Every structure is written in C-alpha cells, then in structure tokens.
Structure 1
Amino acid sequence: MEPPSVSELRRAKFARRLPAKLSELRGPSHGTVRLPLHLAWSGLTEFDLDRPRLRMSCYRIVLGEGLHDDLIQYLDPHLLIGMWPTLRTLISRDLRDVWEEAFTELPLGAQAAA
C-alpha cells in the first residue's frame, strides 16, 4: 500500500476542520475583526470587513489556517458564498476542492466563471 500523497494529507486536514453545514458559521458580516496570532501569525491581524480587499484577505487566512472553531467564529455564510467565485481562485486547490465537495451552496468553477 502506498503512503498518502501530500495532497491527500492536506485535503484530510482541511476536511477535519469543516463545519457540518454552512449555516453553522457565525462570523460577523461587517465591522472590524481582529484575528488571533495562531491565525494571522505574519503581518496584518486586524481586518475591516466593510473593505472588500481586507475582507478577502481575512477569509483567505481563516480558510487556510483556521481550525473548526475558528471557521465558525470568523466566517459568515452569506459573505463566504458571495465571495466564493473570487476567493476560490486565491486559495489552494486542495482547500477549494474540499469546500466545494462539502458544500453545494458554493459555486463551482464553471458557475463561478459565468
């Protein structure tokens, strides 16, 4: 039996962190968010969600670095769905695939490009 690939290991890590449903996400939809150092360990830690570029940066960090409870605390389901067509191009393929396989609410590649 072959050992799992790096991609398989990354996907498993991301999948373990997922909420059961997007409706479990309870993050703010506007205002300023201050991410803890275990998430934003390099650079900016405070994000104004009312500014699109900062909101996108915040979501990239939380999706890539966040544990289950971080995803619940910092992500808003409506913002995530609305931002997904752009956000999906800014995160790793493994992370994108895990989220899109788990949540049919997120637009897939062909839908996002339309």
Structure 2
Amino acid sequence: MASHPQHTGPGTRKLPSADAEDPALYREEFRRRLPESLDNLRGPNHGVVELPLHLAWSGMTSYDLSNPRRRMGLYRTILHEGLHDDLPRCLNQDLLLQLGPVLRTLVGRTVRPVWEDAFPELASRTR
C-alpha cells in the first residue's frame, strides 16, 4: 500500500516518510511547494522571525537572524516544513544563496536535490 500525504490541520500536511514505498511521491510533495523563482523569496534578512505552529511544530518558534546558528536552523526548518505560501514569506533569496553551501549539508537527501534541480544556482555555489 502506497503512503500518501495526510492533512493534520488547516494548511498543514504530514508527508510520507523518506522510507515510503514510493520516494518519488515524497519528492513530488517538495516540488509542489517550490516558488516559481528564487526572486519570489522576499522574506526578512534581519530581525527576529516568528514561525507559525505548522512550521515550528517541533518546538522553537522564534529565530534571531543575527545569530548564525539560529538563522541556519530557521532555513532548515522552512525548507523541510514550509508550504508553498510560506516560502516567499519566510525565505530571503540573498540569505538562501549565502547559506546554500552549508545548508545543503543540513537538509535531507530528498529536499536538497529538489531545490538544486529546480534552482541550479544553489548547487553551483557549492562547487
């Protein structure tokens, strides 16, 4: 039996596990979330970002962008948990490109190729 995304609340979805019978389904869920262009990522590049519970369900909801570890944690969380409408609001193109080389080592093996296939400039910054 194939694993399918499940709705867990308003605007949220539980993804199948990475070990699901159909890893392509898992990747497709992340592809559907992507912005059309990195230019659409106009989130904050300074200050404190407060995440809604559907993004920060694991605990931490407040991230100070001046703190490098917190900034990296915020971006990792958003790349994994963010829905299509969250990405332009929460991510900043310049910060994503700046964090890319390290961030790619912190995100899951499903998330990274989806983003790098869609936006080759993220992959090229690591070479």
Scaled by the length of structure 2, the TM-score of the pair is 0.81
Distance 2:122 2:79 in 1: 14
1:56-95 deviation digits (Å, cap 9, x = unpaired): 0000111100001101100000100110111001111110
CA RMSD for the aligned pairs? 1.5
Q: Percent identity?
A: 53
Q: Check if 1:67 corresponds to 2:74.
A: no
Runs of 4+ in structure 1 displaced over 6 angstroms?
none
Distance 2:21 2:90 in 1: 30
Distance 1:107 1:96 in 2: 9
Consecutive unaligned residues in structure 1, runs of 5 or more: none
Distance 1:11 1:49 in 2: 28
The number of aligned residues is 109
Consecutive unaligned residues in structure 2, runs of 5 or more: 3-19
SS of the residue corresponding to residue 110 of structure 2 reads helix
Amino acid at match of 2:37: K
Structure scoring higher RCO (CA < 8 A, sep ≥ 6) equals 1
Scaled by the length of structure 1, the TM-score of the pair is 0.89
Deviation at 1:107, TM superposition (A): 2.7
Distance 1:78 1:6 in 2: 34
